[in-house]
Structures are given as structure tokens and as C-alpha cells.
Chain A
Amino acid sequence: MATVEVTFTPLPAHVRTARLVATAVARRSGVDESLLDEVRLAVGEACSRAVEAHRRHCPAEPVRIEMTDQDQRFVVTVSDHAPTAPARLAAPATDNGIHDGAGYEAIGHDGGSVFPAGFGLAVISGLAEDVRVLSTSSGVSVRMSWPSTAGAS
């Protein structure tokens, strides 16, 4: 059973709440203060991705976050239920990666992101040392973990 479980309506306004909850639970689980910004950003990216997927495919379905202490790790799983193409876990950019804005123009328009799909996951993979993306026909789960002092309970 998760230590803390949150479900929320897929609205952008709730992503901030999800970030705040995840950061608070991470702190309580003993995640080092220096990692809390990473937790906040990675969970925010995962929730933003899930919210966008739900808004497109199933706006009535809630997004779910589970936070658990396991083997001295703080584990966060963000799950959506949007039937979509498998999520791509793009490699994070390196010094030899993205050099100018040209690569971002594929999806650019006034209403949407200028970044290609999967960019948020690429950011997560650049932040968290342990990220697993499970993509099935019924949705995508993004599981991330950070070292913590709790977990034996």
C-alpha cells in the first residue's frame, strides 16, 4: 500500500498541488534537501504529461500519484489511463545534443508546446537517477525514485 496516494482531476491548476504534496512527502520520507527541487520538478513534469494525455483522451478520468518508501528509496509513480501510443523516453540532452532552436520547430504553434512529444520525460530522465516508464494499451506509468532515510517500515 502506498504511503500517500493522490488522485486529481486532470486540470493544469492541480499539477502545482501534486508537486507540493510530493515534495512534502519526500521531505518527510527523509529525501535529502538538496534533492527536493529535483523531486518537485520531475513529479511536476510527469503530472503535466499525464494531465495533457487525459485532457486529450479521457478528461473525466483522474490522474493518480502513489508515493511509497521502499528499501531506502522514496518511490513516486504517476499513472495515467489515456489510451495512447507508447511514451517515448527520449535521452536527455547533453553538451553534444541540442545546440539551437531548430530542433524544436516540429510542433510549434500558438496553442501548443514547441517541444516534441516526450520532452517532459526527457527532462525527468535528466533529473532523476532512476526512472522507468511503463507503457501499456491502457495508459502510461512513470516510476521515479530517490534515496531516502525511510523505507524499512
Chain B
Amino acid sequence: MDLKLGHYNKDGIEVVDVEGEIDVYTAPRLRELLIDLVNKNNYQLVVNMEKVEFLDSTGLGVLVGGLKRVRAHDGSLDLVCTQERILKIFRITGLTKVFGIHDTVDEAIAAKKSEK
């Protein structure tokens, strides 16, 4: 399936819902959304990947790019993911040490609040 994107604000944190496949074709749309959110002064982001069916290195690059942008404003970008097939690509690239990865959106938000 194609990529579906949505976002909402919860407790001052912008949550991005991603559904479908993130690859060389669809990743630019996610990149544009993340850039747009940062340009609108959202520096605390949670990307919910529970409905992502496929992620490749292009998608990883977009997430790392988003992380760089929010970090430039002392923000952070955390992920929500429990799917083994997706977590595997974070592990083999070492990115589990770069991103905060949580089981639920509420857990991710709670973790961000405790960091403040």
C-alpha cells in the first residue's frame, strides 16, 4: 500500500502517524511533513510507526534528517514501534542507539515529559 500520513498535538508534543510503506518513492512525503512541522516550531516529535509495513534506508535517512533538525532546536524525535521486522533494520544499522524507541505513543510522550 501507499503511504498515509497524519499528525496531531498531544500535551505539547506533535505525534506523526505513519501508515504503509516508507521507501525511495514515498519517503520524500514524510521528509516534507517533518520539515514542515519543524518550520512551524514543533521540536518535540513522536513518529508512530506501528502501522508501517515496510521501511528501507531511504526512510531511515528521512528519520535521521528529522532528528537532526529538531536537535538543532534542542528538540527530540522519538519513535513508537514494536514490529520486529521494522526494529530489525534499526538494529542492523545501529540506530536503536540514536532514537528513543517506545512501545506506545503514551509511553513516548511520558518519556519526553520526564526529560524536560
Contact = CB atoms under 8 A, between A and B. Distances in A.
Interface in A92-135: 92-95, 97-101, 104-105, 108, 110, 113-115, 119-120, 122-123, 126-127
Measured as residues with beta carbon below 8 angstroms from the partner, the interface class of chain A is 35 or more
Contact of A123 (B56, B65, B67, B98): B56
Nearest to A113: B61
Given A37-B85, A41-B89, A126-B93, A12 B98 contact: no
Given A97-B94, A123-B57, 18 more contacts: A12-B23, A16-B23, A16-B25, A40-B54, A45-B56, A48-B57, A98-B97, A101-B64, A101-B67, A108-B65, A110-B35, A114-B68, A119-B61, A120-B56, A120-B57, A123-B56, A123-B89, A127-B92
Closest 5 CB pairs of A and B: A98-B94, A93-B94, A126-B92, A12-B25, A48-B24
A126 B91 CA distance: 10
A44 interface: yes
Nearest to A99: B97
Given A15-B24, A52-B24, A123-B89, A41 B56 contact: yes
Interface residues of B, number: 26
Interface of B: 21, 23-25, 31, 35, 54, 56-58, 60-61, 64-65, 67-68, 71, 85, 88-89, 92-95, 97-98
A114 B98 CA distance: 14
Contacts of B54: 19, 40-41, 44
Contacts, number: 86
Nearest to A122: B93
Chain B interface SS verdict (over half)? helix
Contacts of A48: 23-24, 56-58
